[in-house]
Amino acid sequence: MARLISIIDDNTSILSSLSLQFKSHGYTTCCFSSSIEALEHHTKHPADFYIIDIKMPGLDGIEFYEALC
């Protein structure tokens, strides 16, 4: 079973690039450009690993992590 990596970044170029790299190594990715939308999704469907941009509008990466835990 492929591991699910959630990538959360407001820069769509970074989202695409990271997603392609992880997929090429056999991982499944779930991408979000909004940390608030990601939090709503992941409270019900957690990922195995998270890559989160620290500086994001609305809810920054640290706040996302604290809310997820």
Helix (H) or strand (E) holding 12: helix 12-24
The total of other beta-carbon atoms located within 10 Å of residue 32's CB is 21
Q: What is the pLDDT of residues 5-63, one digit of tens each?
A: 999 999 999 999 999 999 999 999 999 999 999 999 999 999 999 999 999 988 999 99
What pLDDT is stored for residue 16 in this prediction?
Answer: 97
Does 10 or 69 have the greater pLDDT score? 10
What the block records as the tokens of 50 is: 């998270």
Q: Are the C-beta atoms of 8 and 32 separated by less than 8 Å?
A: yes
What pLDDT is stored for residue 1 in this prediction?
Answer: 57
Q: Are the C-beta atoms of 29 and 7 separated by less than 8 Å?
A: yes
